[in-house]
Amino acid sequence: AQSVAQPEDQVNVAEGNPLTVKCTYSVSGNPYLFWYVQYPNRGLQFLLKYITGDNLVKGSYGFEAEFNKSQTSFHLKKPSALVSDSALYFCAVRARTGGGNKLTFGTGTQLKVEL
Amino acid sequence: DAGITQSPRYKITETGRQVTLMCHQTWSHSYMFWYRQDLGHGLRLIYYSAAADITDKGEVPDGYVVSRSKTENFPLTLESATRSQTSVYFCASSEETDMRYSNQPQHFGDGTRLSIL
């Protein structure tokens, strides 16, 4: 069975500081990994994905994520946080082969960026 | 660019009643999904559909029914609503042609907040 862990329910960071939202995963074989963001009363919006190749993936709104196979992690990062980045962030994983079509989501991390 | 729309956005009903949540997408994506979002659980897949007239169960299908007579619509029906089905429901679509090898992102609607009294 595949799973995703987001160990922090909430992350607080000051505007202008770097931010990291953590994600670790468990899957048979190689993964496809995704980050989504959810603003209040809205659906999830796709931020970025890792398929293969370069371990550092760049996405929307200045976000990036680093794939680390040995640590089975896919942490979301941004060099300089904005108040408008405050939202709920979800990590998701799918096995590249043999895992069928199921996308498994983490429980989400609430990011709060303060002035 | 309408994308994917869900209706209603908010719904209150009583236990035992039937309720249908609507989902419509304008992209002609082949795959569509229904999720429920609950605190502490993230998103859990209820049902999905690979194409018109092709549907399959997800992680938590009990108490739900889906149909897909047209590519663009994917309604979700709670045949006899229970309080445990109070949740926020999200519909999503994806353009992949074969989910076994999929790496395409899913595109989500804005959700239906359903309360069952």
Tell me the C-alpha distance between B91 and B13, whole Å: 20
Read off the amino acid at residue A55: N
Q: Spell out which residues of chain A touch residue B40, defining contact as CB-CB under 8 Å.
A: 107
Q: CB of A107 within 8 Å of any CB in chain B?
A: yes
Query: Could you identify the residue written with the tokens 């640590």?
Result: A71
To probe the interface with B, which of A33, A103, A105, A110 has the most B CB atoms within 10 Å? A103
Range of A61-70, B39-48, B88-97 with top mean pLDDT: A61-70
Question: What's the whole-number average pLDDT of chain A?
Answer: 92
To probe the interface with A, which of B54, B102, B114 has the most A CB atoms within 10 Å? B102
Q: Phi and psi at residue B15, in whole multiples of 5°? A: -60, 140
Answer whether residue A33 shows pLDDT above 90.
yes
Instruction: Return the residue of A nearest to B5 by Cα.
Output: A43
Answer whether residue B102 shows pLDDT above 80.
no
Tell me the C-alpha distance between A98 and B101, whole Å: 9
| Burial zone of A77 (CB within 10 Å; 0-12 exposed, 13-18 middle, 19+ buried) | middle
Instruction: Return the residue of A nearest to B109 by Cα.
Output: A43
Q: Is the dihedral of CA A38, B4, B70, B17 positive or negative?
A: positive
Q: What is the pLDDT of residue A105?
A: 93
Q: What is the pLDDT of residue B95?
A: 82
CB contact under 8 A, B101 and A97: yes
CB contact under 8 A, B110 and A43: yes
Q: Which residues does A22 contact at the CB level (< 8 Å), separation at least 6?
A: A6, A7, A8, A73, A75, A109
Q: CB of A78 within 8 Å of any CB in chain B?
A: no
Give the model confidence (pLDDT) of A55-85 as tens digits: 999 999 999 999 999 999 999 999 999 999 9
CB contact under 8 A, B43 and A105: yes
Percent of chain B having pLDDT more than 70? 93
Q: Which residues does B11 contact at the CB level (< 8 Å), separation at least 6?
A: B19, B21, B112, B113, B114, B115
* pLDDT interval class at B101 (50, 70, 90): low
More confident residue, A35 or A98: A35
Chain-centre distance for alpha carbon A43? 16
**Torsion, CA B52, CA B57, CA B63, CA B64, rounded to 10:** -20
Answer whether residue A41 shows pLDDT above 70.
yes
Answer whether residue B98 shows pLDDT above 70.
no
Q: What is the pLDDT of residue B99?
A: 60
